[in-house]
Amino acid sequence: GSSGKMVARGGVGLFYENVQGNDVYNIGPNPPFSSTPQIFNSTAGGYTDHASLDNPSGGTATASPGNLQSLEATYPQQYSVQWNFGGEYQFTEKTIFSLTYVGNSSFHQSMNRNINQPLPSATAYPLLNGARPYLGWANINEYENRATANYNSLQASLRMSEWHGLFLAANYTYSHCLDYVDNDLGGVPNAYNLHTEYGHCGFDIRHMMVVNYVYTLPFFSHANGMARAALGGWLVSGVTTFYSGLPYTISQSGDIAHCGCGGYRANLIGKPNTGPRTQAEWFDVAAFSPDTPGSFGDSARNNVRGQGINNYDFSVFKNFTGIPLPKSQEGGTLQVRIESYNLWNHTQFNGFSTNISNSNFGQATSTRLPRQIQLGMKLTF
């Protein structure tokens, strides 16, 4: 601006990523170099297209089909477009506020899909491998660069330097991340309906605020003698953190679609995030129902929110300077610190039972660390 107190910035970038070596190296164990048969039923009965493990020499000898790892015929190069636009404004000589919009979109991201997956069936196939599109093989896991992802955020910060002994920085981010898979070469349960995989990223934190500060206490700053040496010059510092909860996917055990698959999600029939928010039931378990045979479940990925972070780390410390030391004109400095982590001892759950097949479904199963207090001293010379 004309007053010299405002600055605007912006930028756009296009970034490409080379194809990883693992994409190709993982194909090395394919037949004829090695063979990995897959047995879906290890006991007699059930699927009859495999010899059972409890009676390997019984019955008619059969060859279990092996698995393949493949690359899709077209394997485009991965890339992302990233952009930001914002500005800073200097309210006073020591106070600066900034506001920035940051976003990106990624294309041709890696994923893993079983292209030899049998179609879902309400009843079990008598010969599972006989129902596959490519007969003679079990799973054909294909690496494909077809997933997309996007991230958008509004990022604000306030910085204050040495205002009456206070140094302060506060940062807040509102953001949203969407993708198909979270991990490199992540797999999808239903190879025939990729649209159902698009949802919140597993690391999507919608609100995030962090405040850190250092403040020199003004008490006894003008005292003399022992009062000033012992009681003056103390500092307090801390980091205060507020995060909204991470998302979780509600899953279900078993092969409900009878296709030799995994990674099933439950059916959504209500609003799970209106739950009681207690250790015994963090989200509304009645918002989900088991899958019906022949289906994968219709709930989205990462549609339940866990507990966020409400944490205060706080410390009090002082430097005692000029401590007499042999053969030292300057003397030493003794720093005394009292530090507390999770000062108010808030219980903060970070693990939840998210499988509808479990008896403790919906319960919080673990917590972050409780309050910890430590005393430390450091002598420098």
For 252-269, what is the mean pLDDT?
Answer: 95
Nearest residue to 201 (alpha-carbon basis) of 122, 104, 277: 104
Q: How far apart are CA 380 and CA 229, in angstroms?
A: 18
What is the percentage of the chain residues whose pLDDT exceeds 90? Answer: 70
How would you classify the pairing of strands 186-187 and 166-179?
unpaired
188 phi, psi to nearest 5 deg: -125, 140
Length of the chain: 381
Helix, strand, or coil (residue 196):
helix
Q: Which two tokens stand for residue 22?
A: 């693992």
Indicate if the pLDDT at residue 43 is higher than 60: no
Indicate if the pLDDT at residue 366 is higher than 60: yes
Give me the chain's average pLDDT, please: 89
Q: Tell me the per-residue pLDDT of 195-214, one tens digit each, with 9 for 90 and over.
A: 999 999 999 999 999 999 99
Q: How far apart are CA 375 and CA 228, in angstroms?
A: 22
321 touches 335 (CB < 8 A)? no
243 touches 206 (CB < 8 A)? no
CB atoms within 10 A of CB 35: 13
Indicate if the pLDDT at residue 41 is higher than 60: no
Nearest residue to 297 (alpha-carbon basis) of 334, 328, 264: 264
Indicate if the pLDDT at residue 225 is higher than 80: no
Indicate if the pLDDT at residue 60 is higher than 60: no
Q: How far apart are CA 217 and CA 342, in angstroms?
A: 22
How confident is residue 39, by pLDDT bands cut at 50, 70 and 90? low
Location of structure tokens 């002994």: 165
For 67-93, what is the mean pLDDT?
Answer: 93
The Cα angle at residue 193 between residues 291 and 73, in degrees rounded to 5: 145
Indicate if the pLDDT at residue 85 is higher than 70: yes
Omega within 30 of 0 (cis) for the link into 32 = yes
Lowest average pLDDT, out of 87-96, 144-153, 224-233, 278-287, goes to: 224-233
For 306-320, what is the mean pLDDT?
Answer: 95
The pLDDT, as a whole number, for residue 1 is: 52
Q: How far apart are CA 87 and CA 84, in angstroms?
A: 10
